[in-house]
Amino acid sequence: MDYYRVTAPHYVAGFDVKDNIVVHGAPLLHWAIGQRATKVIRYLCRKNYIVEHLSRDGKPFPKPRNVCMEPIDVQVPELQSKGSSTGH
């Protein structure tokens, strides 16, 4: 599970993502539950909010990253390489 923090001019809130779906969120972000995380993150970035990726699988990052400043990195199992064999 991935954990994110949103900093807007008028609030700070968090949400949890599993398999690219928002599964939990602060009451202000209740509208995002059940939606694709990439869609939610892009929306929040367009609003010029700061969206920080705090941790992945319970392991906190040493320094939270503002995902609005880089490509969105949401782990989706079906998109990850399966076995990473190249056939060589």
Place of tokens 């989706």: 76
pLDDT over 70 for what percent of the chain?
80
Q: Where are the alpha helices (DSSP H) in the chain?
A: 37-46
Q: Give 32's DSSP letter.
A: G
User: Which amino acid type is present at position 19?
Assistant: D
Tens-place pLDDT, residues 48-71: 999 999 998 888 888 888 888 876
Strand partners, 54: none
pLDDT over 90 for what percent of the chain?
61
pTM of the model: 0.76
Q: Where does residue 11 fall: left (phi above 0), alpha (psi -120 to 50 degrees), or beta otherwise?
A: beta
Nearest to 32 by CA among 4, 71, 70: 4
